[in-house]
Amino acid sequence: MANRLAAESSPYLRQHADNPVDWYPWSDEAFRRAREENRPILLSVGYAACHWCHVMAHESFENPRIATEMNERYVNIKVDRQERPDIDEIYQQVSQMMGQGGGWPLTVFLTPQGEPFFGGTYFPPDDRYGRPGFAHLLIALSEAWRHRQDQLQDTIVQIQQGFRQLDQAHQGGSTAAVEDLPAQAARALARATDPAHGGLGGAPKFPNPSCYDLMLRVYERSREPTLLDALERTLDRMAAGGIYDQLGGGFARYSVDAHWAVPHFEKMLYDNGQLVKLYADAYRLTGKRTWRCIFEESLAYVLRDMTHPEGGFYASEDADSEGEEGKFYCWKPAEIKAVLGESEGALACRAYGVTERGNFEHGASVLHRAAELDALEETQLAGWRERLLAARARRVRPARDDNILTGWNGLMIAGLCAAFQATGVPGYLSAAKRAASFIEKKLTLADGGVFRVWKDDVAKVPGFLEDYAFLCNALLDLYESCFDRHYLDRAIELATLILDKFWEEGLFFTPCDGEPLVHRPRAPYDSASPSGISSTAFAFVRLHALTGSDLYLDRAEHEFRRYETTAGKVPSAFAHLMAARDFMQRGPLGIVFAGEKVSAAELATGVHRAYLPARVLAFAEDVPIGRECHPVDGRAAAYVCRNRTCAAPMTEGNALVEYCLSGRV
């Protein structure tokens, strides 16, 4: 018999609808029952594509013995972290304070008032892996609740103090200005890059696109070879590894090893949006053809497999199919030869590193670009990919999480805009426009704000700071790609709403009128995606350059000062904020186009193709500085401006790009 989660729209919650656990969604009803019966709450947080969430569900939540203990001792609440990142953010901090690390599934025990007293991530059903068994933990914490609440209260007080200490730890900038902190951060990240395989740290290894975006930005102005070397090594090794889907395009969430060979196979929209932009920007700077192939193949995957018929983008694809992790993606030699024939199949196995022993489980291999592949003709590789991809399409696909999230769609729109500007392919711009239209039609609040998530014609959960900030930046990218004034106006509206809803002596993750929780987080750290604070700061410095409003600059500088001390110590956690600061401290170029709009867009093509990380583009009629900008002899003209002063107009695209790249402004 299905539980309450069967009525929820979240794919993740519905995955647990047939558990014997008496699950509640996060609701007043659940907390009311806990208070009335004086029961502790078991909170479980995960998401639809999470492999270890599936493991814990199968081992524990589908286990009648364990479910009975849960039902008799607790009020059980299940949360989709994609719908409620605020809840996840708060209680992830608890797990980390308890020394259990962070991640999913997140397992936290609460009082009926929502106060946490114990937290962790995955727990096996019985004691193993050096971790307490979940069944044992359920009984021990229930007995502590019944008989030792005074001790638990001490823990609750310590956790509340921990929240305050965490907030204070990353605030309060230094009194002395730090000279070129973005460059210092970029150099530190380059030094931390794995000299053999690229990427930061060892296993598991994540792409960290914000970190390498910062290196790219600083390299563009400094030309320090160590920055380019770290970037190239990382982008090349990722593209050649198993973390990249060599047949279908797109990146998995992370690699379980240090050399990108075996991924954790789930694919997330936020990773692919950011990595498309990173590869497109790196291509704009270097012209490296293989990087263009990577972002174009990744976009082909998103547009083929992750796009709603009306234009929005789905959240993720699972790691598992038919109950096995990676089964959809892995190959054995006999399977390759069955598709390509004995001779071609043997060559393809060598090229893609497929062996009888395999590099994954059960003798299967994750495809990667072996050295032999580089010597083959691209036409031959394309033919193999087409045939193998068609054969793979006949397999059982991993489940797809068809939630459409505002913030993650913003990251994908930004990636599409970067790809359009780098290549001129009109389909990328069209896809970005369709996604923006989808969000405007389906996910807009009555006051102009945004919902967090949409599914099955239902929008729910008012948006969080990252939703507003990611979308605001995406709309600025769209505006700079096509000069449609609507996108600029909407970005300004979102920025105004950010100040109204999220600003109280600094930015918070949750809106001022949001649901009261045990803690109101700021969440300043970049993680797999930029923090809402860093992305807002970036939007504000861009809007200052476009509109001249000092309010945006003042608010951005406030956040730079607040976090600069911690950013200097932990650059990987503030890379995007440092990118925004780099943009600001350069004194960005404003390139204003005047004349007939179609001709102005054509003149902007060369600027689009160039990598100019500290610039904004505008049509003269749309921005204050454009009042003094006019066409020349009936021809579209570009005015390059800095600090509200513009150079003489230019009407030739090549001369315009050369002038911008020369730094003569």
The proportion of the chain whose per-residue pLDDT surpasses 70, expressed as a percent, equals 97
Q: Assess whether 607 and 569 both reside in one domain.
A: no
Number of compact structural domains in the chain: 4
How many C-beta neighbours within 10 Å does residue 653 have? 17
| 274 vs 466: CA distance, rounded Å | 14
For residue 400, the number of C-alpha atoms closer than 13 Å in the C-beta half-sphere is: 16
Q: pLDDT tens digits, residue range 227-266?
A: 999 999 999 999 999 999 999 999 999 999 999 999 999 9
Does residue 164 sit within a domain?
A: yes
| 569 vs 206: CA distance, rounded Å | 20
pLDDT score for 1: 72
Q: Assess whether 292 and 435 both reside in one domain.
A: yes
Q: How confident is the model at residue 618 (pLDDT cuts 50, 70, 90)?
A: very high
Q: Which domain holds residue 626?
A: 589-662
What is the DSSP code (8-state) at residue 365? B
Q: pLDDT tens digits, residue range 3-26?
A: 999 999 999 999 999 999 999 999
- Collapse the DSSP code of 120 into the 3-class scheme (helix H, G, I; strand E, B; otherwise coil) and give the result: strand
180 dihedral zone (left: phi>0; alpha: psi -120 to 50; beta): left
Retrieve residue 601's tokens: 């867009």
Contact 161, 151 (CB under 8 A): no
| 548 vs 616: CA distance, rounded Å | 12
Does residue 287 sit within a domain?
A: yes
pLDDT score for 371: 72
| 22 vs 34: CA distance, rounded Å | 13
The proportion of the chain whose per-residue pLDDT surpasses 90, expressed as a percent, equals 91
CA angle 169, 527, 57 (to 5 degrees): 110
Q: What is the mean pLDDT of residues 584-602?
A: 95
Which residues face 244 on adjacent strands? 251
Domain at 308, CATH number: 1.50.10.10
SS3 track for 427-451: HHHHHHHHHHHHHHHHCECCCCCEE
pLDDT score for 373: 65
Q: How confident is the model at residue 170 (pLDDT cuts 50, 70, 90)?
A: low
pLDDT score for 129: 74
What is the DSSP code (8-state) at residue 549? -
Mean residue pLDDT of the chain comes to: 95
| 49 vs 374: CA distance, rounded Å | 33
Pick from 588, 591, 583: nearest CA to 655:
591
Q: Domain ends where: 394, 423, 443?
A: 394
Q: Assess whether 421 and 521 both reside in one domain.
A: yes
pLDDT score for 103: 92
| 302 vs 148: CA distance, rounded Å | 52
Q: What is the mean pLDDT of residues 172-184?
A: 74
Give 608-636 as a DSSP string.
Answer: HHS--SSEEEEEGGGSGGGGG---BTTB-
Q: Domain ends where: 554, 586, 618?
A: 586
Pick from 302, 295, 304: nearest CA to 275:
295
Q: pLDDT tens digits, residue range 296-306?
A: 999 999 999 99
Contact 138, 145 (CB under 8 A): no
Q: Assess whether 435 and 387 both reside in one domain.
A: no
Q: Assess whether 550 and 440 both reside in one domain.
A: yes
Q: What is the mean pLDDT of residues 541-549?
A: 97
Residue 364 phi/psi, 5° resolution?
A: -90, 160
With 80 as the cut, is the pLDDT of residue 484 above it? yes
pLDDT score for 643: 84
| 23 vs 432: CA distance, rounded Å | 38
CB under 8 Å to 390, separation ≥6 — which residues?
none
| 57 vs 506: CA distance, rounded Å | 39
Q: Which residues of 519-534 are buried (b: 16+ CB within 10 A; e: fewer)?
A: bbbbbbbbbebbbbbb
- Collapse the DSSP code of 118 into the 3-class scheme (helix H, G, I; strand E, B; otherwise coil) and give the result: strand
Q: How confident is the model at residue 132 (pLDDT cuts 50, 70, 90)?
A: confident
Q: Which residues of 148-167 are buried (b: 16+ CB within 10 A; e: fewer)?
A: eeeebeebbeebeebbeebe
pLDDT score for 178: 72
With 50 as the cut, is the pLDDT of residue 665 above it? no
Q: Assess whether 411 and 549 both reside in one domain.
A: yes
Q: Assess whether 284 and 337 both reside in one domain.
A: no
Q: Assess whether 287 and 419 both reside in one domain.
A: yes
With 70 as the cut, is the pLDDT of residue 175 above it? no
Tokens 């770290």, located at residue: 230
Q: Which residues of 418-444 are buried (b: 16+ CB within 10 A; e: fewer)?
A: bbbbbbeeeebbebbbbbbebbeebbb
Domain at 62, CATH number: 3.40.30.10
Query: Angle formed by the axes of helices 378-392 and 333-340, to 10°?
Result: 110
Contact 252, 245 (CB under 8 A): yes
Does residue 191 sit within a domain?
A: yes
Q: What is the mean pLDDT of residues 498-511?
A: 97
